[in-house]
Amino acid sequence: MRSIRVAWRAFAVAAVSAFALSSAAHAGTSCDAKCLKGFVDAYLTALVAHDPSKLPIAENVRFTENGQELPLGEALWVTNTGLGTYKNYFTDPEAGQAVAYVTIHEGDNFDVLAVRLKVTDKKIAEVESIVVRPSGMGAGAGVMSSPAANLEKLAKPNPLWSQVISKSERMSREDLIKTANKYFTGLQKNDGKGDYPFTDDCNRLENGTQTTNMKLPPGGATSPMQAIGAMGCKAQFASGMYNMVARIRDRRFLVVDPVHGVVSAFAFCDHDGRPPPPVTWQGQTIQSKGLLWTWEISETFKVEKGQLRFIEAVLTQAPYGMKPNWPE
């Protein structure tokens, strides 16, 4: 076993070193999508090797894990025991940023990692990560149990993410952000009366679980979460069932990709403990509980013709009202 670990470390260091040399050879050129994906691969390889010193790092690099600023090389850098198979990358060459959703082992835990890298002058200047551990789900998880295992079952990201938007239908960066922001605005204090720009076939994936258009058990819904999950994206928002969400705050739209119609954002979702008004659905009155709860979220949107077609989110419990430790 020790020989295997030594061989893996040697391979990882060689791979990262090769990437760094390749980046140096292309110094002075912009970092396109392929380049940014290379930085993500290098980061993950170094993470598994527990060795950040092999990465091209900016002098004042900032690193946070679940909102806490730490020295690069601590936290998951110490405790991870290898990657899973699920990987989904989003890139923004204009902003020099990339976001990745991957599965990763941590001893007996199997986690989901959302990581954002900002690359400046071919060096990693910012690392923001959200680690979804089983202990971070808690009572507010609903159907989103076993996040990493759920993503592993999918094996690959939804093919919609890689589909290119035709040049005639590409939206500006500003309009893509406006459309994505309507999701958060419609979710906050959801009353069923907002502007909800969803396609008819829109679906949402949260921590590896599809939370729209879900099949109900025999006899129908037995809980508010099941009732909500059976609806499509637009029907959910139009029902007002998300009225338990008090705030979607500290919204930061960090990766914008007009070529693929993708927007990736980080935010916080607060449930302030007040029981929301009851909602009637299919003749059934549904009363959600009041929870004092905050989700730390990375959420990515597929936007087509000004409408949201697919949403993938990674989220974990945070202390109520926690700040992001990053500027808006």
Least confident piece of the model among 65-69, 177-181, 276-280, 322-326? 276-280
What's the whole-model pTM score?
0.87
| Structure confidence at residue 224 (pLDDT) | 67
Q: How far apart are CA 55 and CA 13, in angstroms?
A: 9
pLDDT at 111 over 90: yes
Predicted confidence (pLDDT) per residue in 188-236, tens digit = 999 999 999 999 999 999 999 999 998 888 877 767 677 778 899 999 9
Q: Is the distance from CB of 186 to CB of 301 less than 8 angstroms?
A: no
Predicted confidence (pLDDT) per residue in 281-318, tens digit = 667 777 777 789 999 999 999 999 999 999 999 999 99
Residue for token pair 């990745």 = 100
**Which H or E run contains 225?**
helix 224-229
Helix residue spans in 120-172 (DSSP H): 147-154
| Structure confidence at residue 218 (pLDDT) | 82
The backbone torsions φ and ψ at residue 111, rounded to the nearest 5 degrees and listed phi first, read -115, 165
User: Mean pLDDT over all residues of the chain?
Assistant: 88
The count of C-alpha atoms lying within 13 angstroms of the C-alpha of 90, restricted to the half-sphere facing its C-beta, is 32
The backbone torsions φ and ψ at residue 255, rounded to the nearest 5 degrees and listed phi first, read -120, 120
Least confident piece of the model among 118-132, 133-147, 246-260, 275-289? 133-147
Q: Say whether 84 sits in a helix, a strand or coil.
A: strand
Tell me the mean pLDDT in the region 272-277.
86
Q: Say whether 199 sits in a helix, a strand or coil.
A: strand
Q: Domains in the chain, please, with CATH?
A: 2-132 (3.10.450.50), 153-318 (3.10.450.50)
Q: Is the distance from CB of 115 to CB of 97 less than 8 angstroms?
A: no
Q: Which one-letter DSSP state was computed for residue 141?
A: G
